[in-house]
Amino acid sequence: MVEELRIKNGVVYDPINGVNGERREICIRDGKIVEDVMNPKVIDAEGKVVMPGGVDVHAHIAGGKVNSGRIFRPEDERRGREPKTKVCRSQSGYSVPNTFTTGYRYAKMGYTFVMEPAMPPLLARHTHEEFIDIPILDKAALPLIDNNWMTFDYVKSGDSEKLAAYIAWMIKATKGYGVKLVNPGGTDAWGWAKNQGLNDESEDWGITPAEIIRALAEANEKFEMPHAIHLHQNNLGHPGNFEMTLETYDVTEGVKASKDRSVTHLTHQQFFSYGGTSWKDFESQAKAIAEYVNKNEHVSIDTGTVILGDTTTMTADGPMEYSLYQITGRKWTNCDVELETGAGITPFLYSGKVGVHSIQWTIGLELMLLVKDPWKVALTTDHPNAGPFIGYPIVISTLMSKKRRDEVLSEIHSAVYDKSELPSIDREYDLNEIAIITRAGTAKILGLQEHGKGHLGVGADGDVAIYDISPEERDAGKIQRAFMNTKYTIKGGQIVVKDGEVVAAPEGRTFLVEPIFEDEEIYKEMLSDLETKFRDYYSVTMRNYPVQDAYTPHPYVIKAPMAK
Amino acid sequence: MTVVTDVVCPLCGSVCDDIEVEVEENKITKVIKGACAVGKSKLQGHERIKSPMIRVNGVLKECSYDEAIKKAAELLAKARRPLLYGWSSTVCEADKVGIALAEEIGGVVDNTASVCHGPSVLAIQDVGIPCCTLGQIKNRADLVIYWGSNPANAHMNHMKRYSYISKGYFLPGGKKDKKLAVVDVRETSTSKMAELFAQIEPGKDFLLFSAVRAVLMGYEDIVPDEVGGIPKEKIVTLANMIKESRFFITFFGMGVTQSRCRQNNIVNAIQTTRAGHLHTKGAIMPMRGHYNVNGFNQVCTWETGYPFAVDFSRGFAWYNPGETASTDLLGRGECDVALIIASDPASHFPADAVKHLARIPVIIIDPYHNPTTEFADIVIPSAICGIEAEGSVYRMDNVPIRVRKVVNTDYMSDEEIVERILEEVRAIKEKEGE
Amino acid sequence: MQMIKLMVKDDVMSGVAKIPIEVDSLTPDNLFGKNEAEIKAVKVWWGNRQENTGDLFEVSVDGAAGSADEVKIVFEGDLTRVKHIGDGMKAGEIEAHGDVDMHCGAVMEGGRVTVKGNADCWAGREMRGGELVIEGDAADNLCAMYRGEMTGMTGGKVTVGGNAGECVGQYMAGGEIVIKGNADVLAGYAMRGGRIVIEGDAAIPGADMIKGEIIVKGDVEMLPSFKYIGVETIEAETYDKYIGDYAMGEKKAKGTLYVRKK
């Protein structure tokens, strides 16, 4: 491993430190950015773009659901296969690649951190086992806490302290990073093949999704959590859902954030920005969503932008996957997880020949172009739901080139000209804004800027991406190619990619948050409630439930004390 | 004497994890509670292989671990079509190293799924599978269907812990709140408890699934008077039980996967579940045998993209059971060396496959003697996972559980042994490369 | 016209282990324009190592070709462990003298493959065009899809002189298959188009079919989920006509099964 590294002559984009396309030198010693180095290996980045390592805020890369997606798609696995090399294990897969491939492909795009956003607590060990086999990247995972019977009990009883105690226990037990919600209430109702809207009261539990969202946001803010609650709200993927989306945004208005960030991070909002009353009069309502985000500080979003082509959809939103499967008639896997959550998986083809898919494609771009402040919006494809993560360079080039957008618009279904604002939007992203939506902003949304991610200031992690592209380049094809394969990717001070080839594949770290709940009496009462749940309703014992330390060989622990 | 609680049973796919044992002088002396009779016997153990052995002039001679491992590595490194088989009665950590070894030597890695629930996996690849964790069944399933499976004998705790006999949140009365239906070719101890028992003619499962599906889809009128020996009236009754349930679960066993139409019986079973799902909530689950047969499938999938029968001969993973599964390879006489771990193909494989296995060099890693060790050329004894070694296993419903180390041992673990072989193979290859 | 003869060397298949040779690189498209020495140097997979064709086969070349269409490859010797004959070929002709191993004619797009013997599983898998003639029996999954795919054969013509195994034409979407003998269970499984003619008997054909046509001239073990429509005459023969598979629901049950009247 190179202990010291100097990257000279590069044009640096480091938005967190206010560096916007300046010629700067980056020095790294022992894996961290430093002021200067004595005896470094030198990389000459003359005429090239230098950014912090990419930070993905939301991509399904590991765990039971992802693996079920792999298991049932051998036809996807045979796409993109490559034999093993001296450095790399054998590679398979396109939308659901094997773990090793996931690490290599992200590294080639200059990414060094990925958030797995949906970890079923009962299956948390599985997520962490896959993390061990994803090389290079640092990772974290968000446990699903919203369809949980303990959560339901405390929401019903209004016991916010016990709820906070419980989420503290759960995040620690699963070695998780924060609080994830997926179709709160609705996923549990799927246990009876039913679903729930934002204000529908549950027959079994007597509470509404809105109450669950508000209660979990408040519980989350009782700690200095690095990240807001991470919400995939109710009613994903249905025409006309934008109204419920806006109502959902209002639910956490007025909750005070314990740190400098949003209260609610709303994920893959493309799927929630739909107008119309059916698939026939389906239209984009991205504008209404973007306007709300522009006016309000308590929300941040990521987009879930569509990549045209075949992919594998997967979410804890069981009822949504079922309705998608009913449309396509393709294979469908479902897995309800006792007392906690569920999952559905089905393959899907986004076709430019289909009106609805073409409009969906525009919505993910509209959201990014209409939200004025790039710190509030993150680039995702909700991998692999709206498309695989290796489509990011396509999205980047599309955001940076109005010309490319117009070319695609002219090739896909003509409905886009009537049902979407995209054709009339002239805005083009610059490299600084790209750096925000792919690393600086995402690191801030996840609270990782305090922990060395998303920037190149002294003390930050030595995670650097060098793209072989001139800062002035406007050609979409060249931009796409440059962002697909870096000139160099450096992870923790080590060169892991050179000229688009993986040259080293070190193990990554797992980032965990440990919320510290102070009131021991309340914590004990919560534990006693939990013991009852395990004794009577779970199929495993409480002692065998928490994820053992063996599953995080390289942990990075973030303590979250109670908010003042 | 000490009591150890929350011990995880390393026997069948139910992976019971609430077992209590007494340990005295580094031995499990008593199983206090939680385990079934078969599990108890596994936990208490029996006569072990004492030492590594290498066959010399037709006779197994004791040797050191180092010698056995070195010899094994030499055989594997030069093989042109090596098979690495077993992996279901060991932990995922060992499976991982085994996959890396297969990749390193351009071999085929396969687990016991190919002779039990491999067909279920193939079916899932055609149509997916609506399933759930076992606790969901315990709390919600008011109709339990066992099809070609007899848990009362094969998975003794299954009904009591998770299904028909258990009590759950929405079913506090236990079996009073539930119905049980059984489809099987013969009367079994499970079928005797059932409200509906359909005794099907062997090999006719596919037809019966199609008939139940047709009724669930609303085409009762086209179904003939009798299908596979079952009168139409009973078929309609079964379909109505499904429709009237709030949550139905079908558990199927090897009676379905290993009879005529094989994996396609499961394709049809899954589609029957989907048809039922049009009326109510439904799920379906294979009754998996070895405690970690699923774990290997999980690990192999995330590491290679495919669940079993993975052929690395071209450097990347190629998957095609029927061609690349161990019984295919051995039955066709393709392999030139085999490494067998934690399984006994001599007892479970078809005769032609066993015959070929006996003709080629065989390395076996196992705690116990079995018919395969009889003709193996290198025998490497190992620690028993779940008793002497810890690690991950995946229950039949994909729930990962860490099995515990309850007592100490001088035996090397499966993981260590395979890791050592891999290191030796790499050293040989490096030398050759020079 | 150019004739390339490839005879498997005796010692290749004489060991305890019969390790398959994979010859997807030995198609008319790929060998066109190569002289004997160059053909001998073409790599083929034998187990986990690549070997020269000349080390595994006796090679002889006769005549010249102006395009791949004019190249004919003849495989001889023990072919029971020679896989992927004609896999992916687009033009020319291949003749195999003997029983061949799996994936013969898989993904082929054009040209013609004749097997003068039996073909093992997955012959004509995902075939797109061209012609495949198997003079003996075909094993399971003839013209089927690869695992997990929802499309099998989409074009071309396949004739089997003898019997065929399970799942003939699974997920078939186009083209034609003619079986002179019997077909084992589930012929035309999940079929989406095309035509299968079975001159002998068939067990539970047409399961989950949503389009396409299956014609059986011998005895049929019927599925319980097909609807009887009536009698129809095809080429002067009387057939019972069924529509299915109703297990897929009425909207999707658009497959046709004809069974010759006794």
CB-CB: which of A72, A336, A346 is closest to B132?
A336
Q: Looking at the complex, report in whole angstroms how far the Cα of residue C236 sits from the nearest Cα belonging to chain B.
A: 28
Q: How many Å apart are CA B234 and CA A237, to the nearest integer?
A: 41
Report CB contact under 8 Å: A92, B314: no
**What are A280's two structure tokens?**
């026939």
Q: Which residues of A touch C147 (CB under 8 A)?
A: 74-75
Residue C15 DSSP label = S
* B315·A126 Cβ contact <8 A: no
Q: Chain B within 8 Å of C243 (Cβ-Cβ)?
A: no
Task: Give strand pairing partners of B85.
Answer: B110, B340
DSSP-assigned beta bridge partners for residue B59? B56
Q: Is C83 helix (H, G, I), strand (E, B) or coil?
A: strand
- Please report, rounded to a whole number, the percentage of residues in chain C having pLDDT higher than 70: 100
Name every chain A residue with its beta carbon within 8 A of the beta carbon of C149.
75
Q: Tell me: the pLDDT tens digits for B63-91?
A: 999 999 999 999 999 999 999 999 999 99
Domain segments of chain B as ranges:
2-41, 48-115+291-433, 118-286
Q: What is the pLDDT of residues A99-135, one digit of tens each?
A: 999 999 999 999 999 999 999 999 999 999 999 999 9
Longest dimension (CA), chain B: 74
Token couple for A442: 């995402």
Angle at A107 between CA A101 and CA A109, to 5 degrees: 105
8 Å CB contact of C148 and A72: yes
| Mean pLDDT calculated for residue range C28-57 | 98
Check CB contact under 8 Å for A329 and C252. Answer: yes
Q: How far apart are CA A198 and CA A232, in angstroms?
A: 12
DSSP string, C138-182: B-TTTT-PPTT-S----S-EEEESS-B-SSTTTT--SSEEEESS-
With residues binned 3-state (H G I as helix, E B as strand, rest as coil), the percentages for chain A, rounded to 5, are 35, 20, 40
Smallest CA–CA distance, residue B33 to chain A, in Å, is 14
pLDDT tens for each residue of A355-366: 999 999 999 999
Tell me the pLDDT tens digit for each residue of C164-201: 999 999 999 999 999 999 999 999 999 999 999 999 99
Q: Does residue C227 belong to the interface with chain B, where contact is any CB pair within 8 Å?
A: yes
Question: Nearest Cα to A73, choosing from B127, C97, C256?
Answer: B127
Could C208 and B275 be called an inter-chain contact, meaning their C-beta atoms sit closer than 8 Å? no
State the nearest Cα–Cα gap between A102 and chain C, in angstroms: 21
The minimum CA-CA distance between C35 and chain B, rounded to whole Å, is: 27
Instruction: Specify whether the CB–CB gap between A342 and A415 falls below 8 A.
Output: no
| B398 interaction partners in chain A (CB closer than 8 Å) | 64, 68, 123, 126, 335
Give the Å distances, CA to CA, from A456 to A260, A450, B93, B408. Answer: 20, 12, 37, 49
Q: Contacts of residue B206 in chain C, CB cutoff 8 Å?
A: 185-186, 204, 207
Domain B118-286: what homologous superfamily? Dimethylsulfoxide Reductase, domain 2 (3.40.228.10)
What are the pLDDT digits (tens) for A234-268?
Answer: 999 999 999 999 999 999 999 999 999 999 999 99
At CB < 8 Å, which residues of chain C contact A? Answer: 146-150, 252
Chain B residues with CB-CB distance to A192 below 8 A:
140, 246-247, 281
Amino acid at C54: G
Give the mean model confidence (pLDDT) for residues B357-373: 97
Looking at the complex, report in whole angstroms how far the Cα of residue C2 sits from the nearest Cα belonging to chain B.
31
| Secondary structure of chain B as H, E, C letters | CEEEEEECCCCECCCCCCEEEEEECCEEEEEEECCCHHHHHHHHCCCCCCCCEEEECCEEEECCHHHHHHHHHHHHHHCCCEEEEECCCCCHHHHHHHHHHHHHHCCEEEEHHHHCCHHHHHHHHHHCCEEECHHHHHHHCCEEEEECCCHHHHCCCHHHHCCCCCCECCECCHHHHCEEEEEECCCCCCHHHCCEEEECCCCCHHHHHHHHHHHHCCCHHHCCCEECCEEHHHHHHHHHHHHHCCEEEEEECHHHHCCCCHHHHHHHHHHHHHHHHCCCEEEEEECCCECCHHHHHHHHHHHHCCCCCEECCCCCCEECCCCCCHHHHHHCCCCCEEEEECCCHHHHCCHHHHHHHHHCCEEEECCCCCCCCCCCCEEECCCCECCCECEEEECCCCCEEEECCCCCCCCCCHHHHHHHHHHHHHHHHHHHHC
User: B328: cis peptide before it, omega within 30°?
Assistant: no
Distance of CA C198 to the CA centre of its chain: 15
In a domain, A422, yes or no: yes
- pLDDT at residue B434, rounded to an integer: 58
Cross-chain residue pair A76–C148, CB shorter than 8 Å: yes
Question: How much is the average pLDDT of A457-479?
Answer: 97
Is the pLDDT reported for residue B107 higher than 80?
yes
The tokens of A56 are what? 């993905």
Q: How confident is the model at residue B212 (pLDDT cuts 50, 70, 90)?
A: very high
Pairs of CB atoms within 8 A across A/C:
13
Residue A47 has pLDDT above 80, yes or no: yes
Amino acid at A276: G
Mutate to test the interface with C, among A75, A326, A345 (most CBs of C within 10 A): A75
- Among B25, B11, B65, smallest CA distance to B411 is for B65
pLDDT at B313 over 80: yes
Mean pLDDT over all residues of chain C? Answer: 97
- In chain B, residues with a C-beta closer than 8 Å to the C-beta of A331 are 124-128
- Judged by CB atoms closer than 8 Å, whether chains meet at C227 and B222 is answered as yes
Best mutation target among A84, A202, A338, A534 (most B Cβ atoms within 10 Å) is A338
Averaged pLDDT for residues C217-221? 98
* Residue A558 lies inside a defined structural domain of this protein: no
Letter for the amino acid at A556?
A: Y
Q: Is A208 exposed, middle or buried (0-12, 13-18, 19+ CB in 10 A)?
A: buried
Per-residue pLDDT at B155: 76
Read off the pLDDT band of B13 (50, 70, 90): confident
Could you tell me which chain B residue has the CA closest to the CA of C46?
Answer: B80
Chains touching A by CB (3 or more pairs below 8 Å): B, C
Query: What mean pLDDT comes out for the span C145-154?
Result: 97
For A70, the closest chain C residue by CA position comes to: C148
Task: Provide, for chain C, the percentages of residues in helix, strand and coil under a 3-state DSSP scheme, each rounded to the nearest 5.
Answer: 10, 35, 55
Cα(A266)–Cα(A273) distance, integer angstroms? 12
Test C121 with B323 for CB contact under 8 angstroms: yes
What's phi and psi for B405, nearest 5 deg?
Answer: -95, 115
ipTM over 0.85 threshold: yes
What mean pLDDT is predicted for residues C76-104? Answer: 98
Per-residue pLDDT band at B152 (split at 50, 70, 90): confident
Across the interface, whether the CB atoms of C146 and A329 are under 8 A apart is answered no
How many whole angstroms separate alpha carbon A482 and alpha carbon A434?
Answer: 13
Which residues on neighbouring strands pair with residue C94, listed in sequence order?
Answer: C73, C113
pLDDT, position A57: 98
Distance (Å) from the C-alpha of residue C211 to the closest C-alpha of chain A? 15
Flag if B211 and C224 touch (Cβ within 8 Å): yes
Residue A141, Cβ density class (10 Å: 0-12 exposed, 13-18 middle, ≥19 buried): buried
Residues of chain A contacting B128 with CB distance shorter than 8 Å: 72, 325, 331-334, 345-346
pLDDT at position A285: 98
- Domain interval for residue A309: 54-372+391-430
Q: Looking at beta carbons, which residues of chain A come within 8 Å of C150?
A: 330
Residue type at A191 in one-letter notation: G
Is C251 part of the contact surface with chain B (CB cutoff 8 Å)? no
Question: Measured between CA atoms, how close is B426 to chain A, in angstroms?
Answer: 11
Chains touching C by CB (3 or more pairs below 8 Å): A, B
C125 contacts C100 by C-beta, under 8 angstroms = no
Q: Quick check: A1 pLDDT over 80?
A: no
| Residue A97 pLDDT grade (very low, low, confident, very high; cuts 50, 70, 90) | very high
C252–A73 C-beta distance less than 8 A: no
Compare CB distances from A338 to B129, B133, B390 and report the shortest one's residue. B133
Task: Indicate if the pLDDT at residue A2 is higher than 70.
Answer: no
Residues of chain A in contact with residue C209, where contact means CB-CB under 8 angstroms, are: none
Rounded CA-CA distance C41/C58 in Å is 12
Average pLDDT over every residue of C219-247: 97
Of the ranges A415-419, B12-16, B188-192, which one carries the lowest mean pLDDT score? B12-16
Instruction: For residue C211, list its beta bridge partners.
Output: C192
Cβ of residue C235 closer than 8 Å to a chain B Cβ: no
Interchain contact, C185 vs B206, CB within 8 Å = yes
Q: How many separate domains does chain A show?
A: 1
Task: Judge whether residue B154 has pLDDT over 90.
Answer: no
Question: What subunits touch chain B, counting only 3 or more CB pairs under 8 A?
Answer: A, C
The CATH fold assigned to B48-115+291-433 is Rossmann fold (3.40.50)
Does A130 reside within a domain?
A: yes
Pick the range with the lowest mean pLDDT from A372-386, B154-168, C145-159: B154-168
* Closest Cα in chain A, distance from residue C148 (Å): 5
User: Which helix (H) or strand (E) covers residue A177, if one does?
Assistant: none
Q: Percent of chain B having pLDDT more than 70?
A: 100
Interface residues of chain A, partner chain C, Cβ below 8 Å: 72-76, 78, 329-330
> For C150, which of A72, A76, A330 is closest by C-beta distance?
A330
Report DSSP state, residue A450: G
- Structural domain includes residue A308: yes
Closest CB from A100, A129, A322 relative to B92: A129
What is the C-alpha to C-alpha distance for residues B350 and B347, in angstroms, rounded to an integer? 9
Note whether C225 contacts B214, CB cutoff 8 Å: yes
Residues B352 and B328: beta-carbon distance below 8 Å: no
Query: For position A95, what pLDDT does the model report?
Result: 98
Decide if A75 and C252 are in contact by the 8 Å CB cutoff: no
